[in-house]
Structure 1
């Protein structure tokens, strides 16, 4: 670690201690770290990321916001994906009978992202006497021998927990969970980021593009280049952005980094994206959006929750001509954004569904 990195880590630690004084007691010995929570009912929010994907950080922020609003009678303890291993024992030591563990959702359930999946299984095993809530997720186990072996292991661990509540953020995941985790309570809920809401901007200009270049992309590299060139030729230099920003994001920096991106998106006339959270960020900022599918069902079915918004257009079989047509329609119609359904539309009864499933 360089001296500069050490300074950054120290600064983040100090900010965390100020922002979350009750849950960030680095000087407290291991097993006594959470002693201030003895006798208090708590929600442990975990699988919190530290990587550079702002979509996952938005899920973490929305999940915490949901808990603070809807479970105000509970203390909240956030534990990072790597820290849960070393703090599980100390957390169990101060357990209250009503304590719950919430695992943030996202697209990391399955064999595509092993660290997240294996950590989830550790949490389920380590907190076997707790109510565990898996917040809205997308599942993907490949049909390879490895993927099927991982599914078999997941089924054994998930199904053995007596109080695991699971949420699917798309119908394919919901049906998969019903089939493979048949003795669990399973709910269908949208991505937690739809719990957030940002103020809309009145001045908008230009086309913004956010396209994947990883294993989840539906477009081939040459197709992405062709599309980008065509948009530039038609609408001038398109602004490109990404939800993976190339630097570590912490609990301290996540909200400021998200606000930077949301402010940027809020100034776009139209956004073209194949990222689920690119689409959802447009929804919460009131930005017209052309949605391109990803390699699996995640974006296609995520769009289901937003399909009635006139400023959202899905291009299910993406080609350059179809995307350009969709951009033109949104601009031509001056796609004045109509208010998205309120958070109550999506989440009104969710606390009761969670509490009601405790027994």
Structure 2
């Protein structure tokens, strides 16, 4: 499979998934906008928006974050149509605000289909599953999409709802172009609650960064237009960062996905609960683009090998 074939396959599967729920002219809401600097969530949001617009020919009739959702405003703006929950990696107990919002939606929006767009599922404490499982079982029409087979197995074991495998929605952004690299090795390494805590060798000459800080000129505003502009600015920042390297090492899933879209060879380490390896195991990827490593030493050795061929 070539790199181009692989990217086309991911987009094709995503389009089929979305067309299961919407058609030309369909009304829909898209909620849980990622109101934070993490580039990956904005990439997912823009991919979701691109697919929904492409299929329906229209913008969402209602958009909100987890903290400013208003049920009356939602019903006024979107009296019918599916409610889509933004995908990502927050179904579980690591990022509780988003999980509580998802549970609130299931408890209060019961007169229409609610679709959870592709997610990774992880609960550190299994006892936390019961509340969510009860809400899922009680909801008349909830559909769950997950990004890897471990999440799918978990959902089919614990949750009484249709559960399906689908790629990450950021692949709907399509291939991107990168300018001339500025360094041999760019290392995008997590500094948040999902980090594994890899020790950085003191000898590395790589640029080491994370992408959790917004640019000072980020567009402001809380309407749908401003939020889309914020997501675009965040993704552009992430693409510029990754494009600095001839080769990338990362423990972020969207460090991998955006490097994939940019065509930059990269080595992936894993996050705290194995999210990246499970995603790679679920889908076919060209080996000349992405390689898995278990340790920092292995990652740097593989990166050196990639640099020697470029």
- Tell me, yes or no, if structure 1 residue 123 matches structure 2 residue 105: yes
User: 1: distance between equivalents of 2:284 and 2:247?
Assistant: 16
Q: Decide whether the 8 Å contact of 1:172 with 1:297 is kept in 2.
A: no
- 1:282 is matched with 259
The runs of 5 or more residues in structure 2 that have no matched partner are: 1-24, 219-226
Q: Return the TM-score normalized by structure 2.
A: 0.82
Alignment of 1:143-154 (within 5 A): 143=125, 147-148=126-127, 150-154=128-132
Q: Structure 1, residues 291-322: CA drift from partner, whole Å, max 9, x if none?
A: 0111212111122335334121110x2142x1
Summarize the Cα distance change of 1:247–1:180 in structure 2 as closer, same or farther, 3 Å threshold. farther
Residue 138 of structure 1, CA deviation: 0.8
Q: Secondary structure at the match of 1:245?
A: coil
Which of 188, 195, 199 in structure 2 is aligned with 1:210?
A: 188
User: 2: distance between equivalents of 1:131 and 1:161?
Assistant: 9
Q: Secondary structure at the match of 2:245?
A: coil
- 2:246 is matched with 269
User: 1: distance between equivalents of 2:290 and 2:62?
Assistant: 36
- Tell me, yes or no, if structure 1 residue 61 matches structure 2 residue 46: yes
User: 1: distance between equivalents of 2:232 and 2:61?
Assistant: 17
Q: Secondary structure at the match of 1:83?
A: coil
- Tell me, yes or no, if structure 1 residue 89 matches structure 2 residue 57: no
Which of 329, 334, 337 in structure 1 is aligned with 2:305?
A: 329
Aligned length: 275
Q: Decide whether the 8 Å contact of 1:270 with 1:289 is kept in 2.
A: yes
Summarize the Cα distance change of 1:161–1:74 in structure 2 as closer, same or farther, 3 Å threshold. farther
Residue 241 of structure 1, CA deviation: 2.6
- 1:231 is matched with 204
More relative contact order, 1 or 2 (CA 8 Å, 6+ apart)? 2
Q: Decide whether the 8 Å contact of 1:197 with 1:285 is kept in 2.
A: no
Residue 96 of structure 1, CA deviation: 4.3
Q: Structure 1, residues 20-68: CA drift from partner, whole Å, max 9, x if none?
A: xxxxxxxxxxxxxxxxxxxx85210001121221111111111111111
- 1:19 is matched with none
Residue 242 of structure 1, CA deviation: 1.6
User: 2: distance between equivalents of 1:73 and 1:214?
Assistant: 36
Q: Decide whether the 8 Å contact of 1:291 with 1:312 is kept in 2.
A: yes
Q: Return the TM-score normalized by structure 1.
A: 0.71
Summarize the Cα distance change of 1:323–1:41 in structure 2 as closer, same or farther, 3 Å threshold. closer
Alignment of 1:160-175 (within 5 A): 160-175=138-153
Q: Secondary structure at the match of 1:281?
A: helix
User: 2: distance between equivalents of 1:191 and 1:75?
Assistant: 20
Q: CA RMSD in A?
A: 2.1
Summarize the Cα distance change of 1:96–1:140 in structure 2 as closer, same or farther, 3 Å threshold. same
- Tell me, yes or no, if structure 1 residue 258 matches structure 2 residue 231: no
